[in-house]
Amino acid sequence: MDCGLIGRKLGHSFSPKIHSLLGEYPYRLIPLEPEEVGNFLQKGEFHGLNVTIPYKKTVMEYCAELTPAAQRIGSVNTILRRPDGTLLGDNTDYDGFLYLLKSAGAQIEGRKALVLGSGGASLTVRAVISELGAREIITISRSGENNYQNLDRHADAQIIVNATPVGMYPNNGVSPVDLDQFPQCEGVFDLIYNPAKTQLLLQAQRRGLIWGNGLGMLVAQAKAASERFQGKKLPDELVTDITAKLERETKNILLIGMPGCGKTTVGKALAQKLGRPLADVDEAIVAQAGCSIPEIFAKEGEEGFRAREHRALVQIAKESGQVISAGGGIVTRPENRDPMEENSVVVWLRRDLHKLPTDGRPVSQSVPREELYRRRAPLYEAAAQVTVDNNGTVEDTVDEIIRRVMG
Ligand SMILES: Nc1ncnc2c1ncn2[C@@H]1O[C@H](COP(=O)(O)OP(=O)(O)O)[C@@H](O)[C@H]1O
Ligand SMILES: O=C(O)C1=C[C@@H](OP(=O)(O)O)[C@@H](O)[C@H](O)C1
Ligand SMILES: [Mg+2]
């Protein structure tokens, strides 16, 4: 049984990995140029396929039959070869988005929904929301009747779904809309999964709304496709388990804590043990500035250093799957919150104050450690999801972080 994914650019697709966890069948990435698609489908050395951008509509004419979901959405993301050799076009993005809403506990019935974007993903979203009984569905597009200039018409929206690429890696940190414009909003969903939390989702989370990103949707559409490939039902827990696994593997582990508590040292050992790349924010600042941290403080003051630190963090934190050692003062600037939270599990490393060195650390030299700790402990506490003591050996600390973060 040969399966795979066709599309134009498939560089870092998660699909082969997800399908390897869903069943035992070969699943290949098959990048095709537009003129190759027809021939590939007709020649037909495959049992089942997934289809991604830009061919979800192109493939429809090669399918002898379309499922109701594929017809309604007007696009095909899953193709199945039938016993007589003809192709059935289906759409499991529908199942994927349905899962995303259900797993987040969203209530759609009777609600007014705004769908940002008018492309293929938007069609899927609208089909699902309509099926779930939304009261009104408004599509926002750049040049349509309802656009980003007249969002005030829809200030009463209760559900917002981002089906645009705005905020997607590498353009992190921007949002298609400001949620403050929607005081009645209850739930926000973003089809993007890199970063794990777009700026839109960070805003939703801070407001205490129901929210979800596109990773569960990606896994759930793959599971629905895999059920069709394998001709059998798969347990729903597989979706939750695989999503959690991918999340653990892609999220950065970001170390924060008092200056000298061991972020750089533990970070190195942790990265090595996990086989992950290591990024040290202070090292990036020094490399960029071409001089040492005490020199930066002397020339540009703490303000200058913090501005450099923020810029370095923004660049580093948008990459995935790394270990990141921050500088001790990263939590003192509110603008660092979004980049720290978008893609990382934040770990607060604690080491007894009397063990903390102060050399090469201008802040530690000007403020006594106890006083600095008094000011900063609440900030570390608020920023961290996990707290780990670093008073034993470096190896013990590394193992404890792995145990707590990787489950
Ligand atoms: N668990 C540990 N055991 C022994 N020494 C440690 C431990 N953790 C850190 N250190 C030492 O503490 C000093 C400061 O560590 P460093 O990694 O530079 O801290 P930070 O990056 O948090 O400022 C270094 O000399 C380092 O070797
Ligand atoms: O605590 C701070 O304000 C600082 C900590 C240092 O990093 P370490 O925590 O790695 O020493 C470095 O970023 C700079 O000297 C400022
Ligand atoms: Mg350090």
334-345 pLDDT, tens digit per residue, is 999 999 999 999
Tokens 């779930």: give the residue: 132
Residue 260 Cβ contacting ligand 2 at under 6 Å = yes
pLDDT in tens, 139-166: 999 999 999 999 999 999 999 999 999 9
**Per-chain mean pLDDT for the chain:** 96
Please report the pLDDT score of residue 11 as a whole number: 83
Residues with CB under 6 A from ligand 1: 257, 259-265, 325, 357, 390, 393-394, 397
Q: Are residues 395 and 350 in the same domain?
A: yes
Q: Are residues 312 and 289 in the same domain?
A: yes
Q: Is 395 exposed, middle or buried (0-12, 13-18, 19+ CB in 10 A)?
A: exposed
Q: Are residues 167 and 235 in the same domain?
A: no
Q: Are residues 295 and 327 in the same domain?
A: yes
Cβ proximity of 352 and 263 under 8 Å = no
Asked if residue 245 is part of any domain, the answer here is: no
- What CA–CA distance (Å, rounded) separates 104 from 196? 15
The residue nearest atom 5 of ligand 2, judged by CA position, is: 328
Q: Please give the positions annotated as active site.
A: 56
Q: Is 227 exposed, middle or buried (0-12, 13-18, 19+ CB in 10 A)?
A: middle
CATH of the domain at 115: 3.40.50.720
Mutate which of 255, 256, 265 to test ligand 1's pocket (most atoms within 8 Å of Cβ)? 265
- Radius of gyration from C-alpha coordinates of the chain: 24
Asked if residue 135 is part of any domain, the answer here is: yes
pLDDT in tens, 78-119: 999 999 999 999 999 999 999 999 999 999 999 999 999 998
- What CA–CA distance (Å, rounded) separates 103 from 95? 12
Please report the pLDDT score of residue 44 as a whole number: 75
Q: Are residues 120 and 56 in the same domain?
A: no
Q: Are residues 179 and 105 in the same domain?
A: yes
Q: Which residues contact 112 (CB under 8 A, 6 or more apart)?
A: 134, 135, 136, 138, 154, 156, 157, 158, 159
For the chain, how many structural domains are there in total?
3
Q: How confident is the model at residue 210 (pLDDT cuts 50, 70, 90)?
A: very high
- For residue 137, how far is the Cα from the chain centroid? 26
- Domain range enclosing 153: 95-213
Q: How confident is the model at residue 304 (pLDDT cuts 50, 70, 90)?
A: very high
ipTM above 0.95 for this complex: yes
